[in-house]
Structure 1
Amino acid sequence: MEGVRIFCPATIANISCGFDVLGVALDSVGDEMTLRKTDTPGIRITKIIGQEIPLETEQNVAGVAALALLGECDFSGGIEIEIEKKIKPGSGIGSSAASAAGAAFGLNLLLGNPFNRHQLVRFAMQGEKLASGVAHADNVAPALLGGFTLVRSYDPLDVIKLNTPEQLYATIIHPQIEVKTADSRKILKTGISLKDGIRQWGNVGGLIAGLYTEDYDLISRSLEDHIVEPIRSMLIPGYDDLKGAAVKAGALGVGISGSGPSVFALSKGSAKAREVADAFRSAYSVVGVPFEIHVSKINQEGIKVLEQW
């Protein structure tokens, strides 16, 4: 194989109660990347469409992820990468993760798949470290594996793909403001009370149980965040109105996607997800901030090959 073009999905991280450990991949929005072999040794990013981000390999999350993987392979040739960014940086739906995971996946494919998808997570995490200062996996894991994922442990890294109920859909509203992950981490508390911890652990367990039993009511009851949401929601204009409107429209639950400013809602069925989109639209039209809305089925596959040659 000399080249490949891939779809790299947007993702929702945290899923309310699972800060830094839970994530899910989306199907209707994502980046496209093209990787091809070249005779010039090393990794070069030759084109970026859609956003102004660095072309320099060491300053680009895709370049850093690719270099991390290449460092463990015996390959003397080179790779050129083109990125079509359809996920805006700072949107809260895994822009950096899509690029980092896509680079690791595409390079691995061109080298004959020396690593499986689970093993690629740790390379993609290096891109996240460049973007946010922390090598977290809650976005890159679902981007690579698809569906819902749980990072059980970071040391050693242990990522588990979870069950995804067939009728689960996501609705995402992206206010057109930027919230950088590194900045949103700075405002978080460094400690929590035992009481809050117990409530959060119960919700994480309940959510995972609900995913496996496909109990939508249990999923709904578990989509609560008593630790991060109260702080980060202050960075999102109109957050409380958005949440109230979506719940009233029948969403199972509402939360902040990643570090924000995007807000997600999970619903049972595509019709209800579209009703939630209408509720989001009505609630946010009076805020005075431009926005985009996506309705998506859960992406069970993760990164997809669009073309190869």
Structure 2
Amino acid sequence: MYRGIAVASGEENVINKVIVSVPASTANLGPGFDVFGLALEMRSTYTVEVLSPGEKWSVHFEGMGADVLNEKGFKFVSEVMDYFERAESVHLPPLSINVHTGIPLTRGLGSSASAIVGLLSCFEVMMNTQLDTGKVLKYAIAIEGHPDNVTASLVGGFTIAASDRSEVAYMKVVPQNLKVVVTVPSSFLSTKKARACLPDMYSRRDAVFNIGRASMLSACIFSGNYDLLSFALHDRLHQHYREKLVTGFREVSRAADRAGAYGSFLSGAGPSIAALAEPAKAEKVAKAMQKAMIELDAEAETFVLDISAQGVILQTVEDENA
């Protein structure tokens, strides 16, 4: 089942090429476990083009982690494609899929979420001629398993997302006068391993602690009043348990605080460490965080990133002779 853009009676323009740019994201931001996401201006690009009937579909990666992805990424793409075809009851035509990865893999910056959003967006536009954000978000959450990263990558900004089997809801705001400083270690940390160290049960005291901090963090971001961010970024549900898996978490966090950051947190499941800072102090914070890693003899790279106001950026090419 193939669909195109109806432009007039007896005529049809068929989208035969889709280019989608998707931002990285940092999730949790301390207390907002599996709920908060923040889109970052660090992007991967997905170019999907329809091949001639009978040609075999292909996948090629370049950029960060391309050697690993060209070896193992085919399976991941196939799984996303299979989910989309089942959910939509369609059969995608043969496709050429080229990915330029600008997001470090398995570092807590939403690389898998970005890939899921990018691929689903390409498939959705190619088959249905427009991007249905609600539908893509629902599918992405079903594949990823939690809404934080995929929501931020899809719509941009700071997002609060919640979902169950039948409903997905989110709110978004684009924070102003705020930079995100991220120290990215050279070591990998899988989300599966980082989740395995978390307890199955939490005390009421810790739950209440996180509800208070998450509420305060939301108020700070939505109001633009960042005075209480250092208080609001604290967490008791996941960071304490994951610290042992992340080299330099405490040292880098202390360095960021001393350099004038509003506060710091584990980026997603780690091992990246993020800090929020006012623009005038961001470079100083970055140098302090990088120095802390060097003093630990740990290899890492530190970035000063803008918050991405826009999530998916889409470009299509139509075949007017179809």
Please say if residues 177 and 261 of structure 1, whose CA atoms lie closer than 8 Å, have aligned partners that are also in contact: yes
1:1-309 to structure 2, matched below 5 A, reads 1-27=15-41, 29-40=42-53, 44-50=57-63, 51=66, 52-53=68-69, 59-60=75-76, 62-71=77-86, 72=88, 74-75=90-91, 77-113=93-129, 116-128=132-144, 135-268=145-278, 270-305=279-314, 308=317
Please say if residues 100 and 125 of structure 1, whose CA atoms lie closer than 8 Å, have aligned partners that are also in contact: no
Deviation string for 1:1-32 (max 9, x for gaps)?
221222221110111111111111101x2212
Stretch deviating more after TM superposition (144-153 or 259-268): 144-153
Structure 1 residues 42 and 117, CA, compared in 2 at 3 Å: closer, same or farther? farther
Structure 1 residues 297 and 193, CA, compared in 2 at 3 Å: closer, same or farther? same
Stretch deviating more after TM superposition (50-59 or 71-80): 50-59
Q: Which amino acid letter does the alignment assign opposite residue 65 of structure 1?
A: V
> Who wins on radius of gyration, i.e. which is larger?
2
Pairwise CA RMSD of aligned residues?
A: 2.2
Query: CA offset at residue 232 of structure 1?
Result: 0.6
Query: CA offset at residue 271 of structure 1?
Result: 2.4
Query: CA offset at residue 79 of structure 1?
Result: 2.7
Query: CA offset at residue 208 of structure 1?
Result: 1.2
Query: CA offset at residue 245 of structure 1?
Result: 0.6
Secondary structure at the counterpart of residue 192 of structure 1:
coil
Q: Which amino acid letter does the alignment assign opposite residue 94 of structure 2?
A: G
Secondary structure at the counterpart of residue 217 of structure 1:
coil
Structure 1 residues 184 and 248, CA, compared in 2 at 3 Å: closer, same or farther? same
Please say if residues 46 and 55 of structure 1, whose CA atoms lie closer than 8 Å, have aligned partners that are also in contact: no
Query: CA offset at residue 121 of structure 1?
Result: 1.4
TM-score (norm 2): 0.86
Query: CA offset at residue 289 of structure 1?
Result: 1.8
1-side partners of 2:230 and 2:174: how far apart?
14
Structure 1: unaligned runs, 5 residues or longer: 129-134
Q: Which amino acid letter does the alignment assign opposite residue 220 of structure 2?
A: G
Please say if residues 162 and 211 of structure 1, whose CA atoms lie closer than 8 Å, have aligned partners that are also in contact: no
Structure 2: unaligned runs, 5 residues or longer: 1-14
TM-score (norm 1): 0.89
Structure 1 residues 122 and 55, CA, compared in 2 at 3 Å: closer, same or farther? farther
Secondary structure at the counterpart of residue 69 of structure 2:
coil
2-side partners of 1:56 and 1:227: how far apart?
32
How many residue pairs end up in the alignment?
A: 300
Q: Which amino acid letter does the alignment assign opposite residue 204 of structure 2?
A: L
1-side partners of 2:54 and 2:179: how far apart?
43
Secondary structure at the counterpart of residue 292 of structure 1:
strand
1-side partners of 2:166 and 2:293: how far apart?
42
Query: CA offset at residue 107 of structure 1?
Result: 1.6
Stretch deviating more after TM superposition (212-221 or 240-249): 212-221
2-side partners of 1:211 and 1:298: how far apart?
12
2-side partners of 1:91 and 1:81: how far apart?
24
Deviation string for 1:103-161 (max 9, x for gaps)?
01122222244552132012223543xxxxxx112111110011111122333332313
Secondary structure at the counterpart of residue 188 of structure 1:
coil
